[in-house]
Amino acid sequence: MNRLHRLTAAGRRLGVTARSLRVMREAGLNGGIRDGIRTAKLVRDYGPFAGIVEAAAARAPHDIAITDERGDLTYGALNERVNALSRAWSRQGVGSGDVIAVLCRDHRGLITALAAAGKAGAQALLMNTGFAKPQLADVARRERVSVLVHDAEFTGLLDAIDPDVRRLVAWSDDGEGSLDTLIRTTSTAPVEPPARPGGMTLLTSGTTGTPKGAPRGKTSPLFSAQLLDRVPRRRSETCMLAAPMFHGTGLGQAVLSLALGNRLVLRRRFDPEATLRAVAEHRCQVLVVVPTMLQRILALPDEVRARYATGSLRIIFVSGSAMAPDLVTRTLDEFGPVLYNLYGSTELAVMTVAMPDDLRHDPRTAGRPPVGCTVRLYDDAGHAITAPYVVGRIFAGSEVSFSGYTDGRRKQVIDGLLSSGDVGHFDADGRLYVDGRDDDMVICGGENVYPLEVENLISGHPAVDEVAVIGVRDDEFGQRLRAYVVTVTGAAVGADDIKDYVRANLARYKVPRDVEFLDALPRNATGKVLRNELVAEVTK
């Protein structure tokens, strides 16, 4: 057996296909096939974040891994921080079976915590920084969180969480947080692999709007290599990661960037001009955003955008919600053929990618599946649809698809493929088009919102008699929520009162942008609200 065959066989034993190895080699992922397989072993032993940091630190310890608001951090220094935190947690008895929740904005502390959880054998849970207190408490209780790593700005939300949950401050504007103190006072020597590496859980919304846990035990730079078949990421580049890492988009691109030995440029809060400034200052080749961010960048005055040289960009990677065709066209016109739009979900990760040529052909397309991904359409009876331009339910599968929610529920499966919850069609050239949801979920600025949850909350307001919430099109956020409210006779309540009530109890992205007051909701003979009439009123 020659060397290539031996390496390929070794890769297969670690779950890496020959085609993925080829894609990795073409991208220079971790120095080629041999380093890719070495990284695969470390990922198997330590988990995704810890494994790739360990590999990068061994290969190029002095290369910069992270540039955040505290400066530069090399791969070697990052790995030492991970070792110290993992060892500290293990000494405290935190390990297999424990859940470490991370409520952080994008900075070195978040990545350190995720990697250290893997080395300790614990499950990392990424919390949405937009949560209100009730959602945070519900998720922490349901997921049985034992340790919470958080930024100081979120301290006011934590009094609803079980006091037995250990707390560590990862970032404080006043100086060093307790996470840094723990790291500084613990040995940075190498850590032995745990009996079983920890994984990661992302949060998504359920049918009632309550966030569900979606474990991603297969999150790996090697399976992420499938994306390189459609997006030409390269090693040793600089990536401006504007998308938050608690989202699948930000998390996946962070994993891939570290695997490629990239420098990750991170900022805790998104600002459109500051993002362009960072791209110009660091000569970033890659920018990762959600559509709302891109919309805000293009909304800057022409003279502001002209201040910053963005010619270094090879890739603007967008995901999180559907892009308006006008936004696609304006992006291509402004930055050139560098736009790559990913269609995926928390559960399915990558389904398709639209490349610049696809988007110029038709800005509405979701593109084609990358290597290792299968996408099929089925009718309501579960029969496969193979003809172009016929709308069906979208099902997909890959090595990084999840296996079920933490509460035991699963999505519908047909022929081994998971339901995306969307409907769409293929054109004659195999490009996918997403035509809408097969339920009533609203995607607002990349966040999934179910109107029923918002309705149930508003209906509890003492001045509200009845309410209906729908999603309407929004040029900036893709969709926005509109609430139709019927008040109790004699009650004095305004639109701002309703918005403030929702804001105090739900995440900010669930606050209706519009509130309309009606004398009565349109209903049919059985008393059901005629939502189609409300939608028709909006589109007149």
Q: Residue 57: what pLDDT?
A: 96
Task: Give the pLDDT band (50/70/90) at residue 4.
Answer: very low
Residue 459 sits in the same domain as residue 488: yes
Closest CA to 355 of 341, 370, 371: 341
Element (H, E) at 322: none
Rounded CA gap, 87 and 77, in Å?
Answer: 15
Q: Is residue 383 part of a domain?
A: yes
| Domain that residue 408 falls in | 365-437
Tell me the C-alpha distance between 203 and 210, whole Å: 10
Q: Show which of 171, 191, 217 is a domain's final residue.
A: 217
Angle at 24 between CA 23 and CA 28, to 5 degrees: 120
Per residue in 306-343, pLDDT (tens digit) is 999 999 999 999 997 778 788 899 999 999 999 999 99
- Reply yes or no on whether the pLDDT at 5 is more than 60: no
Greater model confidence, 312 or 491: 312
Q: Could you tell me if residue 30 is left (phi over 0), alpha (psi between -120 and 50 degrees) or otherwise beta?
A: left
- Tell me the average pLDDT across 234-246: 95
Q: Please report whether residue 267 resides in a domain.
A: no
pLDDT digits 0-9 by tens, 31-54: 556 666 777 788 888 888 899 999
Tell me, yes or no, whether 76 and 201 share the same domain.
yes
Across the chain, which distance is largest between two alpha carbons, in Å? 85
Taking each helix axis from N to C terminus, what angle separates 291-298 and 272-282, rounded to the nearest 10 degrees? 90
Give the CATH number for residue 62: 3.40.50.12780
User: 490: which DSSP letter?
Assistant: T
| Closest to 421 in 3D by CA, of 206, 263, 245 | 206
Residues 427 and 509 in one domain: no
**413: domain CATH number?**
2.30.38.10
Taking residues 74-90, report their average pLDDT: 98
Which residue bears the tokens 């049919």? 524
What does the pLDDT read at residue 517?
96
Q: Check residue 40 and give its pLDDT.
A: 77
How far apart are the C-alpha atoms of 138 and 131, rounded to whole Å? 10
- The reply to whether 187 and 108 lie within a common domain is yes
Answer whether residue 307 is part of any domain.
Answer: no
Q: Same domain, yes or no, for 423 and 458? A: no
Of 200, 217, 234, the one marking the end of a domain is: 217
Which residues in 140-299 belong to E strands, given as ranges? 145-151, 166-171, 200-205, 211-215, 238-241, 263-265, 286-289
Residue recorded with tokens 């499950």: 123
Domain identity same for 46 and 157: yes
Q: Are residues 404 and 493 in the same domain?
A: no
pLDDT, mean over the chain: 87
Task: Cite the beta strand spans of 78-232 per DSSP E.
Answer: 99-103, 123-126, 145-151, 166-171, 200-205, 211-215
Number of domains the chain contains: 3
Which residues, 6+ apart, have CB-to-CB distance to 372 below 8 Å? 17, 19, 20, 223, 226, 229, 398, 399
Q: Do 457 and 422 sit in the same domain of this protein?
A: no
Domain boundary residue, one of 437, 461, 494: 437
State whether residue 294 is helix, strand or coil.
helix
The answer to whether residue 344 sits within a structural domain is no
**Does residue 360 sit within a domain?**
no
What CA–CA distance (Å, rounded) separates 438 from 380? 11
**Residue 397: what are its φ and ψ, rounded to 5°?**
-165, 150
137 and 202, same domain (yes or no):
yes
Q: What is the CATH number of the domain that holds 534?
A: 3.30.300.30
- Examine residue 5 and state whether it is found in any structural domain, yes or no: no
Domain co-membership, 112 together with 88: yes
44 inside domain: yes
Helix axes 3-13 and 18-27, enclosed angle (nearest 10): 110
Does a structural domain hold residue 143?
yes
Same domain, 518 and 458: yes
What is residue 295's predicted lDDT score, i.e. its pLDDT? Answer: 84
Q: Does 64 share its domain with 82?
A: yes
Q: Identify the residue whose tokens are 């997006």.
A: 231
